[in-house]
Amino acid sequence: MSDYNAEDVRNLALVGHAGSGKTTLVEALLAATGVISTPGSVTKGTTVCDFDPMEKELLHSLDASITSFDAHDKHVNLIDTPGYPDFLGRSISVLPAVETAAIVINAQSGIEPMTLRMMKAADNRNLCRMIIVNQIDAPDADLAQLTDQIRETFGAECLPINLPAEGGKRVIDCFFQPSGEGADFSSVAEAHSRIIDQVVEVDEALMEVYLEQGQELKPEQLHDPFEAALREAHLIPICYVSAATGAGMSELIEIITRLMPNPSEGNPPPFLKGEGAAMSPVSVDPDPAKHAIAHVFKIINDPFRGKLGIFRIHQGRITAQSQLYIGDARKPFKVNHLYRLHGAEQIEVPEGVPGDILAVSRIDDIHFDAVLHDSHEEDNFHLSSLECPVPLFGLAIHPTKRGDEQKLTDALHKLESEDPCFHVEHNAAANETVMRGLGELHLRVLLRRLADQYHVEVETHPPSIPYRETITAHAEGHHRHKKQTGGAGQFGEVYLRVEPMERGAGFEFVDAVVGGVIPNNFIPSIEKGVRQVLDEGAIAGYPMHDIRVTVYDGKFHPVDSKDIAFSTAGRKAFIEAVEKARPVLLEPIVKIRITAQGTAMGDLAGDLSSRRGRINGSDSKSRGRIVIEGEVPLAELDGYDARLKALTGGEGTYSIELSHYDTVPANIQKQLADAYQRAED
């Protein structure tokens, strides 16, 4: 039996920008609670969470890592996440495993791009949030100004729950024992009053006691409304720490264990049952006596223990002898070994309760986002989809050695199973395999893993741009397919119309045939023929999107009509209609965010303009830095990493995410169409 229950569990993900000190903060928490004797060092490569050789080499987290500690009779699971924008997907993917997202901010650097993105991601997931300001003892840190910036950026509900003192050498509690003095800014009494006022607003009865009777409220009276305020995002507490010196650690541990929600106090996980229109919300209760339900939020392909599936238990208990189903599988697997993770270490445990984060190994069918359960009553359960960024950076790859094609395919499949923002695609038109990620560093790390872990050497080159094709007008098409070969013939006649849909709407096929002029069993064949053209394209060989196709008339022959005849007729009728519907080529437009020294602003703006880009705004940051936000066609970013380094003396960084698709200029469309035609000829 576990020596704690679900009410004793706290789950936190430490998220934020690279350099905010998340990994060092984990070390300080583990040392303060006796899990490790002394804190490890990122620069020396001795931390619990950055155990991968590449993490030690680059001095930054590249993947999420899990550990835990016990304090004040509570069990706290911590997930340390990477802060580089290139690994945003690996940070977002762990959010379904926790009740609380702890956004860590460097007191010197302030609010940075990943701070904003992870705060938004946690809000989208409806998580309780807290803000941890780290490195408060830095000599040039202006904590009062930073606190004002936090409240201006994220809202007035962000309130200090403790305050730094003596230049960040210690921290004064403003909630449990609000009688201290000597804060570096504001005052303990003011901070206490603000946070109490904020909390009682969610409880009318308590507010009446507080305002009308003038009674001082005890922390025990505030617990339930405090949890409600966290759930409703009516309160986001701000804590101050120095992970390097240990200042504020005991206060932070007390806040985590006494105030952060347990599995029953946080917002319930958004479980759904069914697919498509039949999908409906279902309630999952952190009750250990009910059926077991767990969610796999991370996959690791371990060279020694095989595939490792890391999951969060949301309901019921899971033991080392449990029989679990994966999704709607009919056959269960047996949990022979159950592990708790401590960085790279896997500690075998007998069971897990709701809220626990555990792992199973050597289960080939387990996969990211799978729901594990022990009863068919929970078949087809799943969590609502994560809003992960679209991977746009691409490299076309092929193995250096002949005969390594299958080895490369297997390795890519394993890497893809671990990372929700790493996709592999095969471009049939260009006959190239393309790996796509969130940035140059993301792909560089994966190429290194291909070589080091899977022993596959590859050659790379820039990939084709993922253009799309669509139409801009209504049109009709018709084709009669008639073939006589001496025996049974082929006959099928199709009339259809096409019309453009909104960008991003995809494809819609409508059967409007009446009177049985085309039997129902041939309609799927027509759609199959249409989809062939969608995949192959009509202008330059790129997939077609945002089109509605309506089949409304045709003819059939009782003997000669076959599936292949209607498939051919549908394909050729669709091609005819598309040619009349003013087809155009679309290109991906990305949002670009550039961080550099302000002195490079003019050069960066001019370069972006030369790439058909535009600047939407800029924002000044601390230490003379500037953040430029704009839009630019993805096709124009080939070689931009080297150009940015040249313009900024190697200091500039950038990230991109898909904004929308837009029509390419006529001259570029002609070039691409002519090149495609020459290749076809």
Q: From residue 59, give the alpha-carbon distance in Å to each of 22, 23, 90, 293.
A: 12, 10, 17, 37
Tell whether 279 is covered by a domain. yes
Tell whether 144 is covered by a domain. yes
Question: What CATH number does residue 52 fall under?
Answer: 3.40.50.300
* Same-domain pairing of 289 and 248: no
The pLDDT value given to residue 170: 94
Question: What CATH number does residue 492 fall under?
Answer: 3.30.230.10
Query: Predicted confidence band at 681 (pLDDT cuts at 50, 70, 90)?
Result: low
* Same-domain pairing of 650 and 505: no
Average the pLDDT over 423-435 and give the result. Answer: 81
The pLDDT value given to residue 71: 96
Listed residue (16, 42, 44, 40) closest to 27, CA to CA: 40
- Contacts (Cβ under 8 Å, ≥6 apart) of 357: 11, 66, 68, 77, 79, 97, 310, 311, 312, 313, 340, 341
Instruction: Output the DSSP codes for 570-633.
Output: HHHHHHHHHHHS-EEEEEEEEEEEEEEEGGGHHHHHHHHHHTT-EEEEEEE-GGGEEEEEEEEE
Helices (H) and strands (E) in the chain, counts: 16, 35
Q: What is the pLDDT of residues 169-226, one digit of tens each?
A: 999 999 988 887 889 999 999 999 999 999 999 988 888 887 776 667 888 888 999 9
Phi (first) and psi of residue 332, to 5 degrees: -85, 165
C-alpha 606: how far from chain center: 32
The pLDDT value given to residue 3: 80
Question: What CATH number does residue 355 fall under?
Answer: 2.40.30.10
Which pTM does this prediction carry?
0.81
* Same-domain pairing of 481 and 418: no
Q: What is the pLDDT of residues 592-630, one digit of tens each?
A: 989 888 888 999 999 999 999 999 998 887 767 888 999
Last-in-domain residue among 355, 383, 411: 383
Question: What CATH number does residue 413 fall under?
Answer: 3.30.70.870
CB atoms inside a 10 Å sphere around CB 500: 19
Which has more pLDDT, 579 or 216? 579
How far is the C-alpha of 571 from the C-alpha of 565, rounded, in Å?
10
* Same-domain pairing of 97 and 198: yes
Task: Enter the tokens of residue 337.
Answer: 């070994």
Q: Is the pLDDT of residue 421 over 90?
A: yes
Tell whether 453 is covered by a domain. no
* Same-domain pairing of 277 and 170: no
Tell whether 318 is covered by a domain. yes
Q: What is the pLDDT of residues 443-484, one digit of tens each?
A: 999 999 999 999 999 999 888 888 899 999 999 999 999 987
The pLDDT value given to residue 214: 63
- Our CA angle for 589, 594, 595, nearest 5°, is 165
* Same-domain pairing of 24 and 146: yes
Structural domain for 609, as ranges: 586-668
What letter represents residue 209's amino acid? V
Question: What CATH number does residue 662 fall under?
Answer: 3.30.70.240
Instruction: Output the DSSP codes for 248-306.
Output: THHHHHHHHHHHS--TTTSPPP-EEESSGGG-EE------TTS--EEEEEEEEEETTTE
* Same-domain pairing of 533 and 420: no
The pLDDT value given to residue 190: 92
Is the CB of residue 620 less than 8 Å from the CB of residue 569?
no
The pLDDT value given to residue 429: 60
DSSP class of residue 544 equals B
Instruction: Output the DSSP codes for 181-198.
Output: --BSSS-HHHHHHHHHHH
Task: Enter the tokens of residue 353.
Answer: 């309760």
Average the pLDDT over 30-39 and give the result. Answer: 96
The pLDDT value given to residue 676: 81
The percentage of residues in the chain with a pLDDT greater than 90, rounded to a whole number, is: 71
Q: Which residues of 148-167 are buried (b: 16+ CB within 10 A; e: fewer)?
A: eebbeebeebbbbbbbbbee
Tell whether 255 is covered by a domain. yes
* Same-domain pairing of 167 and 19: yes
Tell whether 404 is covered by a domain. yes
Last-in-domain residue among 402, 418, 448: 448
**Pick from 126-135, 274-283, 394-403, 555-564: least confident:** 274-283
- Contacts (Cβ under 8 Å, ≥6 apart) of 574: 477, 496, 498, 529, 530, 533, 549
Last-in-domain residue among 383, 405, 427: 383
* Same-domain pairing of 575 and 592: no
- Our CA angle for 30, 31, 36, nearest 5°, is 80
* Same-domain pairing of 545 and 594: no
Query: Predicted confidence band at 167 (pLDDT cuts at 50, 70, 90)?
Result: very high
Tell whether 242 is covered by a domain. yes
Full strand arrangement of the beta sheet holding 475-483: 475-483, 490-500, 547-555, 507-511
| Domain count across the chain | 5
Tell whether 181 is covered by a domain. yes
* Same-domain pairing of 205 and 88: yes
Average the pLDDT over 560-581 and give the result. Answer: 94
* Same-domain pairing of 481 and 334: no
CB atoms inside a 10 Å sphere around CB 387: 10
Q: Is the pLDDT of residue 159 over 80?
A: yes
